[in-house]
């Protein structure tokens, strides 16, 4: 067999392999479409203000009150969920750092 005769089957196998590999790749969403970037979380300083407010209201040690989740409620306020030594609390704080409620 000549080199010319072997070239076409080899090229066909390489092309098939490349197409199979391309079919296995998943496309990632654009950064602006990812879950983390579609929700606005509370800035760290506002989360800490809420942790302080929960510690003061409940008498829990401040190092035992941890923010576990947050989200923007509207253009000026955030809701922060906190864990205080195993008990869940919710805090609403505005952009200016005023704690509106603690439950």
75-96 pLDDT, tens digit each = 999 999 999 999 999 999 999 9
Residue 73 has pLDDT above 90, yes or no: yes
Residues 44 and 19 in one domain: no
39 and 63 share a domain?
yes
**Whether residues 39 and 81 fall in one domain:** yes
Q: What is the pLDDT of residue 39?
A: 72
Domain that holds residue 13: 3-32
Number of domains composing the chain:
2
State whether 26 and 42 are in the same domain.
Answer: no
Supply the pLDDT for residue 45. Answer: 96
Q: Is 21 found in the same domain as 62? A: no
pLDDT on residue 14:
62
Buried b (16+ CB within 10 A) or exposed e, 55-90: beebebeeeebebeebeeeeeebbbbbbbbeeeebe
- State residue 54's pLDDT score: 97
Q: How far apart are CA 91 and CA 29, in angstroms?
A: 32
Are 8 and 50 in the same domain? no
> How far apart are the C-alpha atoms of 70 and 80, rounded to whole Å?
4
Q: Based on the domain organization, do 51 and 87 belong to the same domain?
A: yes
pLDDT in tens, 21-32: 555 555 666 665
């Amino acid at each position: 067999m000549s080199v010319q005769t072997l070239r076409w089957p080899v090229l066909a196998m390489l092309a098939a392999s490349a197409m199979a590999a391309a079919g296995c790749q998943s496309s990632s969403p654009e950064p602006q479409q990812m879950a983390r970037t579609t929700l606005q979380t509370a800035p760290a300083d506002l989360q800490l203000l809420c942790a302080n407010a929960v510690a003061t209201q409940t008498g829990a040690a401040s190092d035992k009150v941890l923010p576990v989740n947050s989200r923007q409620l509207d253009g000026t306020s955030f809701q922060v969920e906190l864990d205080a030594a195993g008990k869940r609390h919710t805090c609403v704080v505005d952009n200016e750092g005023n704690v509106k409620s603690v439950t």
